[in-house]
Structure 1
């Protein structure tokens, strides 16, 4: 009897993770703009972020490109963790 093997979706097979966001949160005063976003983007993927006005689309992109600092969670771009130590941005 053959054993079941864990399959990897074709879209992820052999593809490098280029952006990883884990439980990313951002507040503006008492307003929580990002409520624990978790996602992965693989090299070569095209991603579209959609949602209503004020849903955090631009804020999420701004945390990835360091125009805004996220308050909690982890963001890794091309293997470099984006931290409060802005010096590591030159490595990306």
Structure 2
């Protein structure tokens, strides 16, 4: 059985005192090595879900575990947590003077200290 990397249980995010339910009971497991896509209509909660995984949004309720550690409902080292989880914002911009490969390898090289060759190999696997 594949190792669970992210476990989301009954995740809810409400706005305006519960009048707007961006997320209403999302439950999903994401396993090591799995690449997923979050798709749906405009206003369906896709960005809210992704922002919740990075704790850029505070969930109304529910739990999120990353590598078996619950990150909701308690103090968490946010910079360290966010280093492990990348995301592309809805209105993202690549550096126009760099190639797609260079854009993809910047963070692993400069933030995580990964060797250039290793970062390029990983980027090519994802492309």
Provide the TM-score with structure 2 as the length reference.
0.58
Match of 1:72 among 58, 61, 69: 61
Give the strand-richer structure, 1 or 2: 1
Give the match for residue 71 of structure 2: 82
Q: Which string of whole-angstrom CA distances, capped at 9 and with x for unpartnered residues, describes residues 34-73 of structure 1? A: 0100000000000001100000000000000110010111
Instruction: Between the two structures, name the one with larger relative contact order (CA 8 Å, sep ≥ 6).
Output: 1
1:1-92 equivalent positions in 2, closer than 5 A: 13=1, 15-29=2-16, 30-89=19-78, 90=80
Gaps of 5+ in 1: 1-12
How many residues align? The count is 79
Give the helix-richer structure, 1 or 2: 2
What is the CA–CA distance in structure 2 between the aligned matches of 1:75 and 1:87, rounded to whole Å? 12
Contact in 2 for aligned 1:24/1:74 (Cα 8 Å): yes
Aligned partner of residue 63 in structure 1, secondary structure: helix
What is the CA–CA distance in structure 2 between the aligned matches of 1:23 and 1:87, rounded to whole Å? 20
Aligned partner of residue 37 in structure 2, secondary structure: coil
